[in-house]
Amino acid sequence: MIRYILGESIERCDESIVRSLKEALADVIACTIAGCQTEVARIVKTFAVQQWARGKSSLFLSTHALQAAGATFVNATMANALDLDDGHRLVKGHPGAVVFPAVLAAAEERETTGKAFLTALLIAYEVAIRAGMLAHQLRPEYHCTGSWGAIGAAAGVGRILGLSVEQLRHALGIAEYHATYSPMMRCIDHPSMLKDGIAWGSMTGISSAYLAQQGFTGIPSLFGTKEAAELVEEMGMLYRIQQLYFKPHACCRWAQPAVEGAKYLAERHRLSHREIGKIVIRTFRESARLSKKAPANTEEAQYNLYFPVAAYLVFGEVGPRQVLRELANEEILSLMSRMETQIDCQLDAAFPEKALSQVELCTYDGRRYLSPVMQAKGDYDFPLTGEEKKAKFFRLTEPFLGRAGSEELFERIQQVDQLANIRQLTAAIARNLSD
Amino acid sequence: MIRYILGESIERCDESIVRSLKEALADVIACTIAGCQTEVARIVKTFAVQQWARGKSSLFLSTHALQAAGATFVNATMANALDLDDGHRLVKGHPGAVVFPAVLAAAEERETTGKAFLTALLIAYEVAIRAGMLAHQLRPEYHCTGSWGAIGAAAGVGRILGLSVEQLRHALGIAEYHATYSPMMRCIDHPSMLKDGIAWGSMTGISSAYLAQQGFTGIPSLFGTKEAAELVEEMGMLYRIQQLYFKPHACCRWAQPAVEGAKYLAERHRLSHREIGKIVIRTFRESARLSKKAPANTEEAQYNLYFPVAAYLVFGEVGPRQVLRELANEEILSLMSRMETQIDCQLDAAFPEKALSQVELCTYDGRRYLSPVMQAKGDYDFPLTGEEKKAKFFRLTEPFLGRAGSEELFERIQQVDQLANIRQLTAAIARNLSD
């Protein structure tokens, strides 16, 4: 594992891997920008600016710059604030939002090249995803992203800092031990700003690498266990960043197959939401455990099964507008009151490798339509097209950067490996802003 | 639980509880002062001064003052750095080191009275101990102090900040979710500076209260579970701070009954360590899992079964000097090489309620002595006397504050509830120091 962290370089990777990495980077940057308008972003920024020292690591869409750990906490909060950020099925969580802010903050602090940043980001993704797979295998409870994601963040930041073999070992162990405790299912039952523990985990990960640099010692990492051997072996050969999913809808991934089922039926049969008398969602147990109540805040809207399905049927999209400003929409709430859920044992058995649902719509005039078993769109075996991903980028960034600013940022992401200083990337986000 | 946090006051407590609280305060202050000379303290201070902003919360024996979270991280590191700090058997960990630095940092930031500080400290202890008992009951893994301790820290700090009922609820839930992940037994097998996760957990706890104050939301706390009912019910009636143990020796509690056994035999039979040919330690499983190797650093010396027993036999004490400067002492290492361990199923069954061991010494000339089954000295049912506790305070503080400074500090601790501003307490620690 340490050999991989020290030896990896985007220069030795296939072009397709660098392409995947840039797609992930564009997606997480767009999500972070869009996430700045949430209440949780405001709260966390106030806290962070008070606690952490001024530094060289930027907060997105802000004139403040903090020491690396503080900036990481803020940006990671925003990256996942709309639940629109990337994920990986086998870790049941979000690698991008937890590793990107930490690697970026360290790269800004060190003013690394774009190439060094991109290499560290790749390392962080690869390590985080495997740490997540192992955490779920080795320990009985469901681990939130912040727990295993911290380990990936520490690995990427460790590479940026130029840690020695010994320091890297310690950094991984510190991150594993300090990362969040995560009674995750209580956060499904009671949606809160904690969500996936991403921001605290990301901050914990970067802090672990900085602590290791000073000589702080940690436990041997979980990558030394026998269960890890195969996953460590494959590193540098199999790139799991190519198995990421990208989200079209701003809500928990577990609700998205149902959104796809509703979308399929509404488009195929040209149904207006006003015709629909009843909606039955057949799904897996975790999905069924999501809230079904009228949401009181954006977190409850995102961790909801009915809200996004209804929002999609009313608006034709589930984006920042829906989960931030349409919580009390009468048509959405009315549709939600006509839904029911059935747990299907076959769909249940396919989870977590696949997240599947099936939707049945009954119209007021007695027609009944059944969707096929649907997968959430955006997975690596059912991907968004390049154009769809690009459209998502512009949909999320234009309200803040304008068309020209979004285009410039998109271009800079495509050229990130050519940048002499990673701050040329963040400068394209911060320009012309004030708090 | 929230009612208890909001309603508690040292003014309504029996005098014996206030006395217990002041004893605990004196002990943890002395441990924090003595802990400043460790390598981990230097490392953490460098990291903290870099990352967190300057503020009003002091770092012990330093001219620096940081924002509350940063100061907490440093002081909590020092509080447990020598493993001399208080503990509670039923949580298998250290309430004082995890709650005191957080409550103090918040009190300094707010310049509270000594009375308000003392009340918040009492709350933090009572909540932390019950959170620890619950954590071990509700979840299968062994939880390090940082995990449940963060919840107590959040409660005490929440009281200092004057959080509302709702904000307090969130603070407890944030702390529970963000606190450390803690594969604790890997830290027993491989001693490192992570130890009990105390410093990160303490910092997490105070940050949770400050986040809640800004409006950050959390999960419902574990105190809402049915398993918690009895523990919540007893609050304000049973004071578990009166069940604390205080440590005479600077090492893991699990090794201390064996030190007591060796001490008993050496004193009773006036044995010099040079006469001892063999030592057999009968103990419980966890104790037997402690390292038995020659320590490479202070953490390995503290999380060791043989080192403290040998150090006691050679020096008549296991204090800062032994675990910091006598790691390569030939006589200690020679004694360690003549030890062996047996797991005893009766002693094992008594754990964790009691930590018991029995020692057998054989001299080179063929005498054989067997100690009674020994309990670690300092527990509430086998306490250090008031004089012994006071002697420990002076032994730990005098090298740094001198006799007069130690006496002044000890007096100020006895009068802490009379202080108009808690900084009058920390001023007595910081005086005449430079970094």
Chain A hits for B106, Cβ within 8 Å = none
Which of A178, A204, A206, A300 to mutate against chain B (most B CBs within 10 Å)? A178
DSSP letter at A82 equals T
pLDDT of A45 reads 97
Mean pLDDT in residue range B270-294: 95
**Separation between Cα atoms, residue B211 and residue B208, nearest integer Å:** 5
How close B301 comes to chain A (CA, Å)?
Answer: 15
pLDDT tens, position by position, A189-236: 888 999 999 999 999 999 999 999 999 999 999 999 999 999 999 999
SS3 B358: strand
pLDDT tens, position by position, B37-47: 999 999 999 99
| A178 part of contact set with chain B, CB < 8 Å | yes
Say if the Cβ atoms of A182 and B182 lie within 8 Å.
no
DSSP letter at A416 equals G
pLDDT at A242 > cutoff 50: yes
Say if the Cβ atoms of A211 and B147 lie within 8 Å.
no
pLDDT of A145 reads 95
- Is A163 within 8 Å of A175 (Cβ atoms)? no
pLDDT of A183 reads 76
| B169 part of contact set with chain A, CB < 8 Å | no
**In chain A, what is the straight-line distance between the N-terminal and C-terminal CA atoms, in Å?**
41
The nearest alpha carbon in chain A to B206 belongs to A51
Which of B47, B179, B194 lies nearest to residue A214, judging by beta carbons?
A: B47
| B10 part of contact set with chain A, CB < 8 Å | no
Sequence-ordered list of residues with C-beta below 8 angstroms from that of B103, at least 6 positions apart, any chain: B117, B120, B121, B124, B153, B156, B157, B160
Say if the Cβ atoms of B52 and A51 lie within 8 Å.
yes
Say if the Cβ atoms of A219 and B186 lie within 8 Å.
yes
Which of B134, B180, B181 to mutate against chain A (most A CBs within 10 Å)? B181
Say if the Cβ atoms of A178 and B183 lie within 8 Å.
no
Say if the Cβ atoms of A181 and B179 lie within 8 Å.
yes
pLDDT of A431 reads 61
Rg (CA), chain B: 21
| A163 part of contact set with chain B, CB < 8 Å | no
pLDDT of B434 reads 47
pLDDT at B280 > cutoff 60: yes
Say if the Cβ atoms of B43 and A216 lie within 8 Å.
yes
Say if the Cβ atoms of A216 and B47 lie within 8 Å.
yes
Chain A hits for B141, Cβ within 8 Å = 139
Mean pLDDT in residue range B51-58: 98
The nearest alpha carbon in chain A to B300 belongs to A217
pLDDT exceeding 90 applies to what percent of chain B?
Answer: 90
The nearest alpha carbon in chain A to B218 belongs to A192
**Separation between Cα atoms, residue B139 and residue A138, nearest integer Å:** 15
Which of A146, A179, A183 lies nearest to residue B176, judging by beta carbons?
A: A183
Structural domains in chain B, sorted by start? 2-247+386-430 (1.10.4100.10), 253-375 (3.30.1330.120)
Block residue for tokens 């007695």: A366
- Residue in B111, B91, B118 with CA at minimum distance from that of residue B20: B118
pLDDT of B184 reads 73
CB atoms within 10 A of CB B190: 18
Chain A hits for B187, Cβ within 8 Å = 177, 219
| B211 part of contact set with chain A, CB < 8 Å | yes
E strand or H helix at B299 = helix B298-302
pLDDT of B185 reads 76
pLDDT tens, position by position, A92-125: 899 999 999 999 999 999 999 999 999 999 999 9
pLDDT at B432 > cutoff 60: no
What pLDDT band is residue A185 in, cutting at 50, 70 and 90?
A: confident
pLDDT of A435 reads 46
| B177 part of contact set with chain A, CB < 8 Å | yes
Mean pLDDT in residue range A385-403: 95
Rg (CA), chain A: 21
Which of B78, B145, B157, B177 to mutate against chain A (most A CBs within 10 Å)? B177
Say if the Cβ atoms of A177 and B187 lie within 8 Å.
yes
Long-range contacts of A389-393 (CB under 8 A, 24+ apart): A389/A23, A389/A26, A389/A27, A389/A246, A390/A26, A392/A27, A392/A30, A392/A246, A392/A248, A393/A26, A393/A27, A393/A30
pLDDT of B435 reads 46
pLDDT tens, position by position, B64-110: 999 999 999 999 999 999 999 999 989 989 999 999 999 999 999 99
A410 against B185, higher pLDDT: A410
**Pairing relationship of beta strands B356-363 and B339-343 according to DSSP bridges:** unpaired
Chain B hits for A110, Cβ within 8 Å = none
| A298 part of contact set with chain B, CB < 8 Å | no
Which residues in chain B (30-69) have CB-CB distances under 8 A to chain A?
Answer: 39-40, 43-44, 46-47, 50-54, 67-69
pLDDT tens, position by position, A246-304: 999 999 989 999 999 999 999 999 999 999 999 999 999 999 999 999 999 999 999 99
SS3 content of chain A, % helix, strand, coil (to 5): 60, 10, 30
Mean predicted lDDT score pLDDT of chain B: 94
pLDDT at A412 > cutoff 80: yes
pLDDT tens, position by position, B348-398: 999 988 889 999 999 999 999 999 999 988 988 889 999 999 999 999 999
How close B273 comes to chain A (CA, Å)?
Answer: 33
Say if the Cβ atoms of B51 and A210 lie within 8 Å.
yes
Sequence-ordered list of residues with C-beta below 8 angstroms from that of B19, at least 6 positions apart, any chain: none
Say if the Cβ atoms of A214 and B39 lie within 8 Å.
no
